[in-house]
Amino acid sequence: RQLLAEIEERRRAEAERERLGRELAQAGRLAALGQFAASMAHEINQPLAAIRSYADNTAILVRRGRVEDAAENVSAIGRLTERIGTLTRQLKGFARRASGRREPVRLADIVRGSLEVVSWRAAQAGIALDAPLPAPDLAVLGDGPRLEQVVVNLMQNALDAVTGRPEPWIALRVEASEERIAVEVADNGPGIPEAVRAQVFDPFFTTKSEGLGLGLAICRGIVEECGGTLGLHSGADGTTFRMELTRAPAPADAAQDKRNAKPVGSLEAI
């Protein structure tokens, strides 16, 4: 009888351990989902702000009779709404995504999509933005929309860093070798203090008064899921973030070339 009681007690303890394990795993998933949802809210706000700017400028262009430029802005708004749709689909599929998708994606498409989100802000703030489109044959392995999310975040951070500085600028540079491609986002901001540089990729670490401190942590996670690396160099003369990815053959997709006329829409000063 004592043996049976011990067996039953063990069985109950094992069942309780399994239940607690399941609850802990579920709590972890919900916490991760909450972090991702908070990040997505931030990501969605960026193209929404760009859409508002393009819409306001489109009205000005129409009043001035510049119909072709207005049509370009409408096309840019359409692409930005597609970006929002992509972000919401990422949130929907977050729970079942185990790893980052890796497929050949044109670097020019990543840069072009990023510029459509951030160029309006640079123009309105009087910040010089040097970001030429990479050659069309340059491609990397990764998840295109998520890598675009990384570049947008890096450029938005650079814009934050140089706002209010004398002669502010940010630049996007590309270096390519036979096996790797590096994308750098540089600025002439005040730099990141040496004491906190090692922490900038930690979740919930931020030096800003607003924000959750998730952007760079998620960016590094995305890049690593794509088989790449994300690092930084910072000093008194500015900061450079460097993303390195595996080079891939350019995808043979003629549909990608439909957007080659201009990287972004036309913005008029309001």
CATH of the domain at 191: 3.30.565.10
17 inside domain = yes
Q: Are residues 6 and 107 in the same domain?
A: no
Query: What's residue 29's pLDDT?
Result: 52
Burial 68-80 (b: 16+ CB within 10 A, else e): ebbebbebbbebb
Same domain, yes or no: 126 and 55: no
Q: Highest mean pLDDT range out of 13-22, 57-66, 212-221?
A: 57-66
Do residues 91 and 224 both lie within one domain? Answer: no
Mean pLDDT along residues 247-251: 90
Looking at the domain assignment, is residue 93 inside a domain?
yes
Domain boundary among 98, 128, 153: 98
User: How far apart, in Å, are the Cα atoms of 124 and each of 159, 188, 208, 234, 269?
Assistant: 11, 18, 21, 26, 7
One domain for residues 92 and 108: no
Strands 229-235 and 180-187: what pairing? unpaired
Nearest 10 degrees: Cα torsion 105, 111, 242, 247:
20
Across the range 35-46, mean pLDDT stands at: 68
Q: Are residues 108 and 86 in the same domain?
A: no
Please determine, for residue 194, whether its predicted confidence score (pLDDT) is greater than 60. yes
Q: How far is CA 73 from CA 56, 60, 157, 209, in A?
A: 10, 11, 25, 33
Q: Is 14 domain-assigned?
A: yes
Answer whether residue 205 shows pLDDT above 60. no
Question: Is pLDDT of 262 > 50?
Answer: no
Once rounded to an integer, what is the mean pLDDT over residues 41-66?
A: 85
Residue 113: pLDDT above 60?
A: yes
On the question of pLDDT at 24 being above 80, the answer is no
Q: Across residues 27-37, what is the average pLDDT?
A: 58
- Choose one of 68, 98, 128: the last residue of a domain: 98
Concatenated DSSP letters of 183-214: EEEEE-S----GGGGGGTTSTT--SSSSS-S-
> What does the block give as tokens for 26?
């579920």
Residues 237 and 113 in one domain: yes
| CA quadruple 93, 99, 100, 103: dihedral sign | negative
The residue ranking higher by pLDDT, 83 or 26, is 83
Residue 98 has pLDDT above 90, yes or no: no
Final residue in a domain of this structure, among 98, 125, 143:
98
Q: Are residues 229 and 171 in the same domain?
A: yes
Q: Is 245 helix (H, G, I), strand (E, B) or coil?
A: strand
Question: For residue 208, what are the domain limits?
Answer: 102-252
Residue 5 is assigned to a structural domain of this protein: yes
Rounded to the nearest 5 degrees, what angle is found at the Cα of 61, between the Cα atoms of 57 and 65? 170
Q: What is the pLDDT of residue 38?
A: 64
Task: Provide the number of structural domains found in the chain.
Answer: 2
Average pLDDT on 210-232 reads 78
